[in-house]
Amino acid sequence: MGEESPFSSAVLKGKVALITGGGSGICFEIATQFGLHGAKVAIMGRRKHVLDAAVASLGSLGIKAIGVQGDVRNKEDASRVVETTVSELGRLDILVNGAAGNFLVAAEDLSPNGFKTVMDIDTLGTFTMSHAAVNYLKKGGKGKGPTEAGVIISISATLHYTANWYQIHVAAAKAAVDSLTRSLALEWGTDYGIRCNGIAPGPISDTPGMDKLNPEEVGKSAEIVPLGRMGEKWDIAMAAIFLAADTGKYINGATLPVDGGSWLAKPRYISKEQLRQFGRAVEQRSRTAKLPNSKL
């Protein structure tokens, strides 16, 4: 776990959050930090034993938490999980769409059904959960005052900002998730006051995503990050609190990269010292070359 939180421990007091994929990885850390900052949390996932262990661990920190089994691709599951959250925890303020499919595969080795599976979990799942939650998140939704509205945070990626090896399915799915964030921010921001934003994590250590890379690649990932280190799950959880709490109350339709600048990374092809010398030499040459005919 990261360092001490910069937020007040009551910043999410009275809020209820539903976090899909909240039983493990980044989204479990989001559930933990939301709970430590005053929220009650519901976590959703497909595997009961994972949810049970996560709820026990949240409970041991004094966090009020429930686990509700379900698949984000299934609209009956989505409605049931949202309704269970509201009936057991009283209301719904924050939906985190975190459930995601991910595996590395070369494009020609990926079957169309494999492609569809990830689109279904990430993109359709984000839409299905948001759709099931909208009536509870909107102003005046159950347990809320007439001006109080909820928040949606969808976990995306930076893969599709350029292109990445062996992740054609995930990149396409996350590009679509970013598009959902913008469309929902426009429609539901206008009509219901719901803020819809995203977080695009970069390389985050100790996650199922990074476990799929081999140790050598993990080392390389850290080397190319402009800030010189892999991210921690804590970094993503703090960004989620920032967007969910009043700190983010004018942020709507944004997807925030939390990646230490990784997606901008390019190898430095010449050192600063070489550049300075080379630059001076080039200037000198061009000045000398211009002198004979120059009228300036």
Residues near ligand COA, by CB under 6 A: 25, 100-103, 105, 110-111, 113-114, 117-118, 208-209
Q: How far is the CB of 251 from ligand COA (least distance, A)?
A: 24
End-to-end Cα separation, the chain, in angstroms = 64
Residue number, 252 or 262, with CB nearest to ligand COA: 262
DSSP state for residue 18 in the 8-state scheme: E
Q: How far is the CB of 133 from ligand COA (least distance, A)?
A: 21
Q: How far is the CB of 265 from ligand COA (least distance, A)?
A: 19
Residue number, 50 or 86, with CB nearest to ligand COA: 50
Residue number, 10 or 106, with CB nearest to ligand COA: 106
Residue number, 38 or 209, with CB nearest to ligand COA: 209
Residue number, 98 or 150, with CB nearest to ligand COA: 98
DSSP state for residue 83 in the 8-state scheme: H
Q: How far is the CB of 244 from ligand COA (least distance, A)?
A: 21
C-beta neighbour count of 175 within 10 angstroms? 16
Structure tokens belonging to residue 185: 């921010």
| CA 207 to chain CA centroid, nearest Å | 13
Distances (CA, A) of 70 to 12, 22, 129, 198, 238: 25, 12, 11, 22, 26
Report the chain's C-alpha Rg in angstroms.
Answer: 23
